[in-house]
Amino acid sequence: RIQVHHHNHHIHHILRSLHIQVLLHNPNHLHVRGQQLLELRPWPSQPAIQLLLEALPTCCLIGLFDEFLSEKRLEERIGGPFKNKKNEELFVIDTSTNDERFKEDTKKLTKKQRALLPPRCFEILKPLTAVPDPIVKRNRVKSKEERKSTIRKAIEEKKRLSGYIPKKVLEARRSRIVTKLQKKMQPKEHTFNKNLWDNKSTDENENPADLEWLNDNTIRHNLTNLGAFKFGVPKGIRKKKSVVPTIELPHPGSSYNPSFKDHQELLKIVADRELGKQKEEAHIKRVTSDLFNKVTRSEKASLWMEEMSQGLPQTEEIKSEDNVKEENEESTEYKAINPPVSFLKKKTKKQRR
């Protein structure tokens, strides 16, 4: 906004020569908007520009140039001004029917094809301008395969043709097989939309007036008038008479739809219980029946006869058999070759010299 007088006709003449729009709102004020300042042909003379610069303040000129440059940048982003474009570039005649318009031309992409597409979160980072990248060559980090030398690649190719398989490849194959087996062993998850335990009791005989927020007198009055009087219950019935829990909570693995972890824990508990029973049976067998030697019926009969005939007069055959047994037992006894030594007959140091 510049304050001028009506007799300053040379300023009006300069502004008109520069094709700058002049709007007189007050007799002592005017507004200047110079959008076409840089596109004037022919350019005004030097004295006219000098007079204009002296008349206009610096802030006004900076604002004019900033507006002009911002509009130019916007036109570059869009692709040029609309006044220079033809109607064919701006408008398109739609000749398709409604069915063709709403028909999906693009086929549905598979999961692998969608993974190759760039993420949508990076679309905001893409430039909207048509200005090329000022840095033509940008450094890129090479991959592990690209960093390998030609000699190394030739050695690996030679090994591959000869049938050599690296250790990493073998481990990867084994781990892949193991993971596939583990996935097959895991039970498939089923979706249950219905809650089996969410069955509210719909008993007709249930008292609707038995609520906690009602007083006893109110409940008694309502039940008396309804014909369903509430009898008093002894206090001992509601008291807990034992410390032991009434119902033991079942293991979560015994549910209709248990998780894989709970089911495996329940199987382990049952297996450990069975192993404990087997160990107990083996222990009883080891300390009872395994302690005695197994004998045949004939040996058992002979042992019984020998035991029952103790103290009776024996025949010569039995005596001879007993003597043979005693001799065998004596022969099996260990006997030292050297005679026994006593500490009383110990040699002195003089004798030992």
Average of per-residue pLDDT across 49-55: 56
Does the pLDDT value for residue 190 go beyond 50? Answer: yes
Highest mean pLDDT among 224-233, 274-283, 290-299, 310-319: 274-283
Tell me the pLDDT band of 53, cut-offs 50, 70 and 90.
Answer: low
65 and 28 Cβ atoms separated by less than 8 Å: no
2 and 32 Cβ atoms separated by less than 8 Å: yes
Task: Compute φ and ψ for 32, nearest 5 degrees.
Answer: -115, 130
Torsional sign, CA 173, 177, 178, 182: positive
| Residue 163 DSSP code | T
Ramachandran assignment for 129, one of left (phi > 0), alpha (psi -120 to 50 degrees), beta (any other) = beta
Separation CA 303–CA 241 (nearest Å): 63
Highest mean pLDDT among 74-83, 172-181, 215-224, 240-249: 172-181
Tell me the pLDDT band of 289, cut-offs 50, 70 and 90.
Answer: confident
What are 263's two structure tokens? 């089911």
| Residue 210 DSSP code | -
Tell me the pLDDT band of 26, cut-offs 50, 70 and 90.
Answer: very low
Average of per-residue pLDDT across 195-220: 65
Separation CA 160–CA 152 (nearest Å): 12
How is the chain split among helix, strand and coil, in percent rounded to 5? 55, 5, 45
Q: Which helix (H) or strand (E) holds 17?
A: helix 9-17
- How much of the chain exceeds pLDDT 90, in percent? 21
Does the pLDDT value for residue 121 go beyond 60? Answer: yes
